[in-house]
Amino acid sequence: MELNNDEIRRYSRHLILPEVGLAGQKKIKAVSVLVHRRGQIAG
């Protein structure tokens, strides 16, 4: 999975971090997350 020019500009601060870098940002882009909420907040 590659980053296009728009994504490189958008995530440029992430890309310069040694902890993230290009490889890490590609992994983040490839991930999908499902958030499921159960129940209600009592009030």
Residue with tokens 């159960």: 38
* Interval 7-29 mean pLDDT: 94
> Measuring CA to CA, which residue among 34, 5, 3, 33 is closest to residue 21?
3
Q: What span, in angstroms and rounded, lies between the C-alpha atoms of 13 and 16?
A: 6
Token pair of 31 as six digits: 């991930």
Confidence (pTM): 0.65
If one counts every other C-beta atom within 10 angstroms of the C-beta of residue 25, the result is 20
| Digit-coded pLDDT (tens) for 29-43 | 999 988 888 877 776
